[in-house]
C-alpha cells in the first residue's frame, strides 16, 4: 500500500481543539462487550511481519512529547498540582512499565522484563510478530491482567496496587479501539458514543455537547443517526474512535485498528489518529501494518518473544540496515 495523504477527501477534523471542554474523566473504559453483542466478532489470522534481529536494548526517549502546555483534547483541563507524591514525580509520563514479566497460569511467559516509558503526547507503534506479547501489554494497561513481576504505572498510579473500587476511575484514563470496532449494532452512531458517558452517570446535559464534539473530531456529524450496519468499515472505526475519545482519555490505545480495513481507508484512519495525537492525546497503536508504520516515522517499540528488541524514534516497521 502506498500512503495517500488526505486522498480526495477533506480532512475529517473539523474542530481540532473543541473537545477540550469535555468534563474530565466522566467514563470508564467502555467497549460495550458486556452490554450487547458487538456488531462484528473478533478475527485473528492477520498477516504477520517479523521484526528483524534482536536486541538493541534500551529505550530511547521520544522526541515528540510536547511540553506541559500542549493544546488539544486536554487543553483547559486544570493541572493536577495537588497530586499524590508519585503523580508529582511522573506527571509528564503517561505510562511506565518497569521490569514487567507476565506469566500466564499455564506457564507461558508472555513478557520478560519489559521496561517502557511513554511520555505525554507521544505516538508509539507497538509492533512484533504474533505471540510477541503485544496483546498482553494492552491487557496489562487496561488491568485485564496483572504483572507477575514489576509494575505498570498509568499516570503515576501503580495498577497492581489499586483497590477494587479505584479500578473504574483509572480505566477512564484509557480510550481503546479494536480491529473489530465493537459497536452496539442496535444503537445509532450518536448513541454508541453517548453510551460511553451514560454508563458512568454523566449528567445528561453534558452528554450531548461532548458527543457532538467527538463526532466533529472524527468527521461523522452527518452520520450521527445511522446504525453501524449502515456505515462503511472506516466509518465504523471512526465511531469507535469517537467513543474512545469522548471522555478525553490520557492514553488512547488502538489495537490493530486497521486490521479489517482496506489500504486507503486504513490510511485515513491513521491520519485521524495522527491528528488526534497532534491535539495532545498520547497514542499507543499495536499493529502489523508495516507500510503505515514505515511511512509515518513515529516511535516504534518492537516486541519479540516477550522482550523489547527495539525502541526507536522515527523508525521503520523493520530494522533498517
Pick the binder of ligand ADP from 131, 150, 209, 233 (CB under 6 A).
131
Do 234 and 119 meet the contact criterion of CB atoms below 8 Å apart? no
Q: In the complex with ligand ADP, which residue's Cβ is closer, 30 or 132?
A: 132
CB of 153 to ligand ADP, least distance (A): 20
Pick the binder of ligand ADP from 74, 134, 182, 238 (CB under 6 A).
134
d(CA 258, CA 227): 20
d(CA 297, CA 142): 26
Tally DSSP H helices, then E strands, for the chain.
8, 10
Q: In the complex with ligand ADP, which residue's Cβ is closer, 134 or 182?
A: 134
CB of 130 to ligand ADP, least distance (A): 4
CB of 110 to ligand ADP, least distance (A): 3
Backbone phi and psi for residue 306, each to the nearest 5 degrees, phi listed first: 80, 5
Residue 48 is a binding residue for ligand ADP (CB under 6 A): no
Determine the interface stretch with ligand ADP among 4-12, 93-101, 123-131, 214-222 (rule: CB under 6 A). 123-131
Residue 243 is a binding residue for ligand ADP (CB under 6 A): no
Residue 108 is a binding residue for ligand ADP (CB under 6 A): yes
Cell digits for 78? 486544570
Residue 104 is a binding residue for ligand ADP (CB under 6 A): yes
Do 138 and 253 meet the contact criterion of CB atoms below 8 Å apart? yes
**What are residue 236's DSSP bridge partners?**
none
Q: In the complex with ligand ADP, which residue's Cβ is closer, 64 or 130?
A: 130
# chain residues binding ligand ADP, by CB under 6 A: 12
Determine the interface stretch with ligand ADP among 129-137, 149-157, 171-179, 272-280 (rule: CB under 6 A). 129-137
- DSSP code, position 226: S
Residues 6+ apart with CB under 8 A from 85: none
d(CA 286, CA 297): 15
Pick the binder of ligand ADP from 128, 234, 259, 280 (CB under 6 A).
128
Closest to 308 measured CA to CA, from 123, 115, 131, 98:
115
CB of 245 to ligand ADP, least distance (A): 24
Residue 130 is a binding residue for ligand ADP (CB under 6 A): yes
Residue 132 is a binding residue for ligand ADP (CB under 6 A): yes
Do 150 and 101 meet the contact criterion of CB atoms below 8 Å apart? yes
Determine the interface stretch with ligand ADP among 29-37, 100-108, 151-159, 170-178 (rule: CB under 6 A). 100-108
Cell digits for 212? 457532538
- In the sheet that holds 93-103, the strands lie side by side as 109-119, 93-103, 149-154, 157-158
Determine the interface stretch with ligand ADP among 105-113, 174-182, 277-285, 312-320 (rule: CB under 6 A). 105-113
**DSSP H helical segments within 24-149, as ranges?**
85-89, 134-141
Determine the interface stretch with ligand ADP among 8-16, 124-132, 180-188, 231-239 (rule: CB under 6 A). 124-132
- DSSP code, position 165: G
Determine the interface stretch with ligand ADP among 89-97, 101-109, 165-173, 257-265 (rule: CB under 6 A). 101-109
User: Can you say how many angstroms the Cα of residue 102 is from the centroid of all Cα atoms in its chain?
Assistant: 21
Q: Which residues bind ligand ADP (CB under 6 A)?
A: 104, 106, 108, 110, 128, 130-136
Amino acid at each position: 500500500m502506498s500512503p495517500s495523504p488526505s486522498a480526495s477527501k477533506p480532512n475529517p477534523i473539523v474542530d481540532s481543539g473543541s473537545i477540550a471542554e469535555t468534563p474530565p474523566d466522566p467514563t470508564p473504559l467502555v467497549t460495550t462487550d458486556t452490554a450487547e453483542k458487538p456488531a462484528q466478532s473478533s478475527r485473528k489470522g492477520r498477516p504477520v511481519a517479523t521484526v528483524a534481529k534482536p536486541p538493541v536494548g534500551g529505550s530511547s526517549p521520544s522526541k515528540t512529547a510536547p511540553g506541559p502546555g500542549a493544546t488539544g483534547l486536554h487543553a483547559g483541563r486544570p493541572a493536577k498540582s495537588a497530586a499524590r507524591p508519585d503523580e508529582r514525580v511522573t506527571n509528564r509520563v503517561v505510562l511506565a512499565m518497569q521490569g514487567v514479566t507476565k506469566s500466564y497460569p499455564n506457564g507461558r511467559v508472555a513478557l520478560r522484563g519489559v521496561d517502557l516509558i511513554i511520555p505525554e503526547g507521544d505516538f508509539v507503534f507497538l509492533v512484533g510478530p504474533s505471540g510477541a506479547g503485544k496483546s498482553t501489554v494492552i491487557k496489562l494497561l487496561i488491568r485485564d491482567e496483572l504483572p507477575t513481576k514489576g509494575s505498570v504505572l498509568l499516570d503515576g498510579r501503580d495498577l497492581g496496587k489499586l483497590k477494587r473500587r479505584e479500578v473504574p476511575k483509572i480505566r477512564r484514563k484509557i480510550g481503546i479501539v479494536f480491529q473489530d470496532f465493537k459497536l452496539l449494532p442496535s444503537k445509532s452512531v450518536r448513541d454508541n458514543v453517548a453510551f460511553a458517558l451514560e454508563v458512568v452517570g454523566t449528567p445528561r446535559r453534558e452528554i450531548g455537547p461532548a458527543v457532538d464534539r467527538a463526532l466533529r473530531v472524527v468527521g461523522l456529524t452527518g452520520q450521527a443517526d445511522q446504525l453501524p450496519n449502515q456505515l462503511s468499515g472506516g466509518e465504523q472505526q471512526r465511531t469507535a474512535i469517537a467513543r474512545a475519545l469522548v471522555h478525553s482519555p490520557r492514553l488512547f490505545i488502538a489495537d490493530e485498528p486497521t486490521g479489517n480495513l482496506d489500504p486507503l481507508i486504513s490510511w485515513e484512519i491513521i491520519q485521524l489518529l495522527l491528528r488526534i495525537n497532534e491535539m495532545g492525546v498520547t497514542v499507543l497503536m499495536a499493529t502489523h501494518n508495516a507500510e503505515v508504520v514505515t511511512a509515518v516515522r513515529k516511535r516504534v517499540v518492537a516486541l519479540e518473544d516477550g522482550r523489547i528488541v527495539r525502541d526507536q524514534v522515527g523508525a521503520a516497521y523493520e530494522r533498517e540496515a
